[in-house]
């Protein structure tokens, strides 16, 4: 079945939806063309000319009936077949245990993705509990929360029904999976949902794109000006609501895999509670530094001094291009910054001592700039960020071992001034 738009539907229901759109376009298209031909033909044929005066009909009951009833019947048929499709897409499901469940929460500017964990139930949330280390406001006294997992991309098994619960934390967003023909508003305070079944794995979909012309292949998001490659195709989640200046940065990857691979991936995901909350409580102070940027950030702000290292921010070798694994930490940092007013922070880049001093200094400056640009795009409220490249001048470990050099290549954030 031909897709509506350049891409075939990656979900089961999308095929039906595409068909409906084609039927509507064909019917309304034919009517559009015929009525316009008639419009011009009639005004030409009955024009005033010698021996012929223009005809004037003020009223005709039969005509009125025909052009009221005909469109009404056609519209009713279209609407009812639409309703029929809608009811098929959104069935009432009593037993949710067979479903793949996922919760997405939109915020300015990103998505927080939550899977319910082995108990297959989401824990309770309360917006009053939202904090830097608890972005969803999960109630930790509800044990259903303890196995819930926060993930960085949506992974789904092929052929399984998926139910996505959709909410928003601030303004209206819209959960949009173009390839799956899924779009639903994310409304603060009013959860919505969609149900769909992926029918092709990412790999299968890539094979389909192999034979289509290059202009129909979406650009590589990391390298939009580069060549378009079917091998690099990724399903994506976008926000379809113009929700603010960082709107475009609400892109997330969606991966569809076979069931076995999905099960394996699911096993590798950690409970947010055990990983970020319980562990922290159990760790006495002044032990291992935490790697949760929001926790470290809050601590630095309450101390009013110090610097924190961004543990998960990395760059492609020799370049100032952030690697994809840096995004979650930077998103968390941006969320934390949004919650504070009047901060002035320095974002510093540091390198090891390999290579030339001037080049290191310029690279570290570019890297600090890249982090600041990313954070600004994600929304940082009124925070002022000053990027600074120190090159190799401030090592924190020896440059004589590879481990030491790894520690020296880092990005840090420190307070310059603070006014509450
Ligand atoms: Cu949005």
Please give, one letter per residue, the 3-state secondary structure of 220-246: CCCCCCCCCCHHHCCEEEEECCCCCCC
Give the H/E segment covering residue 111: strand 110-115
pLDDT at 361 over 70: yes
Tokens of 375: 């954070």
Centroid of ligand 1 to alpha carbon of 405 (angstroms): 39
The rounded distance, in Å, linking the Cα atoms of 321 and 301 is: 28
How many whole angstroms from 16 Cα to the centroid of ligand 1? 27
Evaluate whether 361 touches 318 at the Cβ level (below 8 Å): no
pLDDT above 80 for 100:
yes
With a CB cutoff of 8 Å and minimum separation 6, the contacts of 221 are 234, 236, 251
Q: pLDDT at position 39, please?
A: 94
Phi, psi of 130 (to 5 degrees): -65, 130
Question: Is pLDDT of 167 > 90?
Answer: yes
Q: How far apart are CA 334 and CA 332, in angstroms?
A: 5
How far apart, in whole angstroms, are the C-alpha atoms of residue 90 and residue 84?
Answer: 10
Evaluate the omega torsion of the peptide bond into residue 109 and state whether it is cis, within 30 degrees of 0.
yes
pLDDT of residue 111: 92
The three-class DSSP label of residue 34 is helix
- What separation in Å is there between the alpha carbon of 341 and the centre of ligand 1? 22
Phi then psi dihedrals of residue 259, to 5 deg: -50, -45
179 CA distance to ligand 1 centroid (A)?
18
> Which has the higher per-residue pLDDT, 42 or 94?
42
10 Å Cβ neighbour count for 204? 14
The residue to which tokens 């050099």 are assigned: 405
Report every protein residue that has its C-beta within 5 angstroms of ion ligand 1: 173, 239, 243, 250
Cα(264) to ligand 1 centroid in Å equals 31
CA–CA dist 397, 406 (Å, integer): 9
How many whole angstroms from 6 Cα to the centroid of ligand 1? 24
Strand runs (DSSP E) across 270-351, as ranges?
A: 307-309, 343-350
Predicted confidence (pLDDT) at residue 253 exceeds the cutoff of 60: yes
The arithmetic mean of pLDDT across residues 292-314, rounded, is: 82
Q: Is the pLDDT of residue 13 over 50?
A: yes
* pTM of the predicted model over 0.85: no
Give the Å distance between the CA of 107 and the centre of ligand 1.
7
């Amino acid at each position: 079945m031909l897709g509506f738009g350049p891409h075939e539907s990656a979900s089961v229901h999308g095929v039906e939806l595409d068909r409906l759109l084609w039927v509507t376009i064909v019917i309304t298209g034919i009517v559009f063309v015929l009525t316009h031909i008639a419009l011009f033909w009639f005004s030409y044929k009955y024009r005033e000319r010698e021996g012929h005066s223009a005809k004037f009909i003020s009223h005709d009951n039969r005509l009125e009936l025909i052009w009221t009833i005909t469109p009404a019947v056609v519209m009713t048929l279209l609407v009812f077949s639409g309703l029929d499709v809608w009811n098929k897409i959104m069935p009432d499901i009593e037993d949710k245990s067979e479903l793949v469940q996922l919760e997405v929460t939109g915020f300015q500017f990103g998505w927080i993705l939550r899977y319910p964990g082995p108990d297959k139930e989401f824990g309770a949330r309360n917006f009053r509990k939202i904090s830097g280390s608890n972005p969803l406001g999960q109630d930790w006294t509800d044990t259903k929360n303890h196995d819930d997992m926060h993930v960085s991309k949506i992974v789904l098994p092929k052929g399984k029904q998926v139910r996505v619960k959709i909410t928003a934390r601030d303004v209206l967003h819209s959960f949009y999976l173009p390839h799956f023909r899924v779009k639903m508003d994310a409304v603060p305070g009013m959860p919505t949902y969609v149900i769909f079944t992926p029918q092709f794995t990412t790999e299968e979909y890539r094979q389909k794109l192999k034979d289509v012309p290059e202009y129909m292949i979406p650009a590589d998001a990391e390298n939009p000006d580069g060549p378009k490659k079917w091998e690099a195709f990724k399903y994506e989640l976008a926000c379809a609501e113009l929700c603010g200046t960082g709107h475009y940065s609400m892109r997330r990857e969606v991966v569809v895999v076979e069931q076995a691979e999905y099960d394996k991936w699911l096993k590798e995901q950690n409970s947010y509670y055990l990983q970020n909350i319980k562990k922290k409580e159990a760790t006495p102070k002044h032990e291992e530094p935490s790697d949760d940027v929001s926790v470290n950030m809050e601590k630095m702000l309450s101390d009013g001094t110090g610097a924190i290292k961004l543990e998960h921010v990395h760059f492609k070798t020799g370049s100032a291009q952030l690697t994809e694994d840096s995004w979650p930490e930077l998103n968390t940092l941006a969320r934390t910054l949004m919650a504070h007013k009047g901060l002035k922070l320095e974002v510093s880049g540091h390198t090891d001592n390999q290579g030339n001093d001037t080049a290191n200094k310029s690279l570290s400056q570019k890297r600090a700039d890249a982090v600041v640009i990313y954070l600004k795009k994600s929304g940082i409220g009124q925070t002022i960020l000053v990027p600074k490249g120190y090159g190799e001048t401030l090592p924190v470990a020896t440059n004589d071992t590879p481990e030491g050099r790894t520690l020296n290549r880092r990005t840090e954030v420190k307070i310059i001034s603070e006014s509450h």
